[in-house]
Amino acid sequence: MNLDNLARIDLNLLVILQVLLEERSVTRAAIRLHVSQSALSKSLNRLRDTLDDPLFIRTAHGLRPTAHAMHLGQQLPTMLQGLYQLTQPPNFEPASSNRQFSFAMVESAYETLIPYFIGPLLYNAPNLRLDSYLWLEKSLPALQQGQIDFGITGRDLSPQSDLIIERLPEGIAHQTLFKDHQVCLVRHGHPILALVNSDAWSLAVYLEMSHVQVRCEGNEWWALDYFLANLGHRRHLSTTVPDFYGAASVCAHSDLIFTLPSSFASHAQKLYPLVELPLPLEFSPLAYVLLWHERNNEDPGHKWIRETICKSVAQAFNQADANDSAHIKPNELII
């Protein structure tokens, strides 16, 4: 495409050509375009010079298009419709859209979050294509470069953390979906349960145990490990695995302890005979966040996806909180 040549063409002349092809009369075309016949004749002469063709021949019955004008008339409607669409504000109709969006999500989000929003998304926009990938260390750069549309991952809320939300790379916007905290899982019949039942569960006991750990973004250490290191402590990571289900399986078939977000613990307990224990130290919560690039802030499709996800997750967790409150007995309320 030679943009230099295109820049010298008055695109309004293409509109005039289309109207002349439809009306086959300078008079009717001038009335329709709200210009004088003289002005329209001048525009027609410019068209002839630009396209190097007479375009129309005057006859007793009006204008007769040349072969070149007829050929142009086959292409002009589609071209002008495309130009018209370019001038319209962005639009997104979920029911008829067949756009494609991509997500990168931490593994735990597939159990704890995606069940709440995938249904509303595809129910209201059945022709969308949603591609999802596992969140990796390269996912954030991919989000910056436009290779993926959205990210869902966990971010530590500790002020000392390098993963704190306020330190996200330039251009990355976020919305917190919900906050979570860390808990521990051990197998049923684990020897440590006797100490727990005797109120001897402590940080010292926790550090003496062997741990199974999920590698996060390629790293063996989590924010908790860096926090403990600042206190002069270190967990004994006996086994590292690539995913949460693998860690839950290892935990269920060994004496290793598994530290993980509480929202995933309940899913693990549905699959394996595991007992949940509180984390025996004060540690900052984490947030599951929806990430996207600021260049898509005003894109209607992106906005609809973000709003649907945030609304669906909020409704689900508010309902879960309400159900939990309904099951609390009066004498169990904490004032």
At 75-94, the pLDDT tens digits run: 888 888 777 767 766 788 99
Would you say the pTM of this structure is higher than 0.85? Answer: no
Place of tokens 């159990």: 111
Whether 215 has a pLDDT exceeding 80, the answer reads yes
High-pLDDT (> 70) share of the chain, %: 87
> Average pLDDT in the 204-215 region?
94
Q: Which of 29-38, 218-227, 266-275 has the lowest mean pLDDT?
A: 218-227
- Is 182-284 in the same CATH topology as 3-86? no
**Contact status, residue 217 vs residue 242, Cβ threshold 8 Å:** no
Place of tokens 């051990």: 186
238 three-class SS: strand
Per-domain residue ranges for the chain? 3-86, 100-179+287-319, 182-284
Q: What is the pLDDT of residue 191?
A: 92
> Average pLDDT in the 106-122 region?
89
281 three-class SS: coil
pLDDT tens string 141-197: 889 888 899 999 887 765 544 445 566 778 899 999 988 899 999 999 999 999 888
Instruction: Tell me which CATH code domain 182-284 carries.
Output: 3.40.190.10
73 three-class SS: helix
Q: Evaluate whether the domain defined by 100-179+287-319 bears CATH number 3.40.50.11540.
A: no
Q: What is the pLDDT of residue 148?
A: 92
CATH architecture of 3-86: Orthogonal Bundle (1.10)
pLDDT tens string 10-63: 788 889 999 999 899 999 999 999 999 999 999 999 999 988 999 999 998 889
Q: What are phi and psi of 98, to 5 degrees?
A: -120, 30
